[in-house]
Amino acid sequence: MPFVLNDLPATAADVAAHLEAAGFTESVQLRQTLALAEEVGEFVGAVRRHAGMARRSGPFSDVEAELADVVLTAFVTAHTMGIDLRQALEDKLAVVYSRGWRETPPASAAAPSPASSAE
Q: Which domains are seen in the chain, by residue range?
A: 5-98 (1.10.287.1080)
Eight-class DSSP state of 4: -
pLDDT for res 108: 65
pLDDT by 10-residue block (mean), the chain, 119 residues = 72 90 90 97 98 98 98 95 94 91 69 52
Give me the half-sphere count of Cα atoms (radius 13 Å) on the Cβ side of residue 105. Answer: 6
d(CA 89, CA 71): 12
User: What is the CB neighbour count within 10 angstroms for residue 8?
Assistant: 19
pLDDT for res 115: 56
pLDDT for res 91: 95
- Is residue 58 a contact partner of residue 50, using CB atoms and an 8 Å limit? yes
pLDDT for res 8: 85
Q: Which of 70, 62, 88 is nearest to 32 (CA)?
A: 70
Per DSSP, helices labelled H in the chain are 8-21, 28-50, 60-81, 85-98, 107-110, 114-117
